[in-house]
Amino acid sequence: MTFYSYPYLTHQNSNHTLFQLAVISIIILVIAAASWLWYRHKTDLKYRDLVIIMVLLLLLLVGIQVNEWQSLQSSFSQKSQVTQIMQQVAHEKGVSQQQVWANSSTVNSGLLIKVKQRVYNVTINPDGNSYTLTKATPINAKITYVKAGD
């Protein structure tokens, strides 16, 4: 069973997105250079073809980036809900947020919160505005902790 720390859930970043933005920037520069060459050598059609290919590639990558951005927004919203629950549990139990762990980065019916040595099952009410903590006993005693920076 894996538990994630509060800092891990709040500070996750995506280097993949930065890589895609860098590739998109390079493609824009290639399009600009090929457009300039096409303008200078109007009779040479290879530059026109290169511009067309790069524009299509740019549109593909921008479409992929928009799709990933939407999924990241959904993931961020889910993590935000889990971290809010972790904050409230820490305040309720009188411990620091670093002593609260969650077994999932999304709010679901099997969400477990670990505070010090106790494990709680979190039940979210249907309206999503409140939760109930009940003591739980994990069957698998092997627990893995994932901290920020791991």
> Can you give the pLDDT at residue 150?
55
Taking the chain (150 residues) in runs of 10, the rounded mean pLDDT of each run is: 82 68 87 88 84 90 83 74 87 89 82 90 82 85 76
pLDDT at position 12: 65
Report which of 147, 144, 138, 143 is spatially closest to residue 97, judged by C-alpha positions: 147
Task: Compute φ and ψ for 21, nearest 5 degrees.
Answer: -65, -35
Q: Is 134 helix (H, G, I), strand (E, B) or coil?
A: strand
DSSP class of 23: H
Identity at 117, one-letter amino acid code? Q
**How far is Cα of residue 144 from the mean position of the Cα atoms in its chain?**
21
The identity of residue 100, as a single letter, is V
pLDDT at 14: 58
| pLDDT at residue 13 in the model | 57
